[in-house]
Structures are given as C-alpha cells and as structure tokens.
Amino acid sequence: MTVQTPGARVEGILDGFAVCASFACMVHCLALPLVLAALPAVADRIDAGEGFHAVVLLIALPTSALALVGGWRRHRAFGPLVVGIVGLLLMGFGLVFAETHALETGLTVAGSLLLAAAHIANWQRRSAVRCGG
C-alpha cells in the first residue's frame, strides 16, 4: 500500500480538474457552433460571449501550471510539461485569432486536446513513480 502525500493528492485533483476543464472547453467549442446553426432563433441567448474563452484560459493557466510543474518535480519527464505548454499556447492563440471563427475553434480545440493529453500523461507518470514503476 502506498501513501500519498497531501501535495500529490492536490496535484492529482488539479490534473483531474484540468482534464475535465479541457474536455468542457472542447465540447463548448465543437457543440456551440452546431447548436447555433441548428437554433438560429435562440442563438443570441446561448452564446457565452467572447469573454468565455479568456475566463477559461485564466482558469487553465494556473491550474495546469501547478499540476504539470508539480508532476514534473515528481517524475522528471518533460513530455507532459512541454505538451501542456503547447496546448496552453494554442488556446491563447485561439483568443488572438477570435475574429476568424474557424481558426479560433481549431486552435482552441487542438490546444484543449493537447492540454488534456498532457494532464493524463502527467497523471500516469506520477502514478508510476508513486507505485515504484
């Protein structure tokens, strides 16, 4: 039986939260255009607004930084950290190119997928270190 330190538990929670947040962002980016196209009568009421992406990125930055850097300190694998940074950068570029909807969606979805993959890899590597593998 392995004992988890409080720091490891917090990092695990942050990784889990970040994966869920990345998935929610991806669903928002993919589903909202479909919903808006299918329901033009209520499109103005469903749109979360331009500030939504900025808020999500402001939440993703610190939680991802804490989880990915904390994981790197335990397992010393740069892969999850680098992939997470690239994902966050792509999400940031999605904000920069907000005027071009297709580019914004593509960048944000790609960034969210990379960020989720980074957190999953971080989670797995931390678990392997904790279990002695």
pLDDT at 108: 87
Q: Which of 10, 30, 7 is nearest to 94 (CA)?
A: 30
Each residue's pLDDT tens digit, 25-58: 777 667 766 665 655 555 455 556 668 788 888 9
- pLDDT, greater one: 50 or 14: 14
Each residue's pLDDT tens digit, 92-126: 999 898 888 889 888 988 998 899 899 889 888 88
Each residue's pLDDT tens digit, 67-86: 899 889 989 999 999 999 99
**Alpha helices per DSSP H over 39-100:** 43-46, 51-75, 78-96
Q: What is the pTM of this model?
A: 0.67
pLDDT at 17: 81
